[in-house]
């Protein structure tokens, strides 16, 4: 079980489904009841946006993720108070370990200061046709927290005891980033397996270097 990132009140004991209207930035539950909406602040130097639960601001996004080595920082509430930092999202650029037509995001919790290993991974297939959120550094079917299919809107499956507000916040970031524009030449499954092997090789190499020190 993964600890909630935003709040335990957003964790369900059962699998839940959420639909995100990507044009309006609104999330609904499986009964089409309103869950969250996002507002963009005009004239913001850091592309500031706020995610609301009804009229309550729950997190704010300060994003430079479109720039090389940029990232999106997410804070509790509607201001960028450093003491309220929840997590940050960094896009992995120009890595030979990432298969074609795949975008990789690393997610670091606020208390992960050294960022040697990420707390979550987000794997985006093609031009956002699909997206999977994993807990931890490596990719395993046992560590899947949520999965998204793009059917015009984002149709999201969130697994039990997972903070679905956190998942929605991640997908609000996903909808605004630039992903691969190449045509898909392999299945998402093969791409994920290739990435898993690459990451496992990197982990083994890292462990070998550490053991020799």
Here the contacts of 69-77 (C-beta below 8 Å, separation 24 or greater) are 69/93, 72/173, 74/169, 74/173, 76/6
Give me the residue label for tokens 């190449």: 182
Nearest partner of 49 among 21, 84, 73, judged by Cα = 73
User: Domain 8-212 sits in which CATH superfamily?
Assistant: LURP1-related (2.40.160.200)
- pLDDT tens-digit readout, 124-137: 998 899 999 999 98
Residue 181: pLDDT above 60? Answer: no
**Could you tell me the two tokens for 96?**
């030979």
Q: What is the pLDDT of residue 1?
A: 66
Mean pLDDT score, 98-111 = 88
pLDDT: which is higher, 74 or 186: 74
Question: Dihedrals φ, ψ of 9, to 5°?
Answer: -65, -15
- pLDDT tens-digit readout, 151-171: 999 999 999 999 999 999 999
Q: What is the pLDDT of residue 213?
A: 52
Q: Please tell me the number of Cα atoms within 13 Å of 65 on its side-chain side.
A: 28
Mean pLDDT score, 60-80 = 81
Query: Domain extents for the chain?
Result: 8-212
pTM: 0.82
pLDDT: which is higher, 143 or 69: 143
- pLDDT tens-digit readout, 19-50: 999 999 999 999 999 999 998 765 455 678 99
Percent of the chain clearing pLDDT 90 (strictly above):
60
Stated as kind and residue range, the H or E segment containing 77 is none
Q: 10 Å Cβ neighbour count for 139?
A: 20
Residue 179: pLDDT above 80? Answer: no
Q: What is the pLDDT of residue 140?
A: 84
Our separate counts of H helices and E strands in the chain read 2, 12
Percent of the chain clearing pLDDT 70 (strictly above):
76
Q: For the chain, what is the mean pLDDT?
A: 83
Q: What is the pLDDT of residue 33?
A: 95
Q: What is the pLDDT of residue 191?
A: 54
Mean pLDDT score, 100-117 = 92
């Amino acid at each position: 079980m993964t600890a909630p990132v935003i709040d335990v009140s957003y964790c369900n004991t059962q699998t839940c489904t959420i639909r995100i209207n990507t044009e309006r930035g609104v999330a609904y539950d499986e009964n089409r009841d309103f869950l969250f909406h996002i507002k963009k602040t005009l004239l913001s130097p850091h592309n500031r946006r706020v995610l609301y639960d009804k009229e309550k601001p729950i997190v704010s996004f300060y994003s430079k993720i479109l720039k090389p080595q940029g990232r999106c920082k997410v804070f509790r509430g509607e201001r960028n108070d450093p003491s309220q930092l929840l997590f940050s999202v960094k896009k992995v650029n120009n890595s030979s370990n990432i298969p074609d037509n795949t975008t990789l995001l690393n997610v670091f919790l606020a208390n992960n200061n050294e960022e040697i290993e990420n707390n979550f991974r987000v794997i985006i297939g093609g031009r956002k046709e699909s997206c999977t959120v994993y807990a931890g550094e490596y990719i395993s079917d046992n560590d899947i927290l949520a999965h998204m299919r793009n059917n015009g809107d984002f149709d999201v499956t969130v697994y039990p005891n997972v903070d679905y507000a956190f998942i929605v916040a991640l997908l609000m970031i996903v909808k605004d980033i630039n992903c691969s524009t190449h045509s898909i030449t392999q299945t998402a499954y093969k791409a994920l397996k290739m990435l898993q092997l690459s990451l496992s090789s990197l982990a083994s190499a890292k462990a070998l270097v550490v053991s020799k020190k």
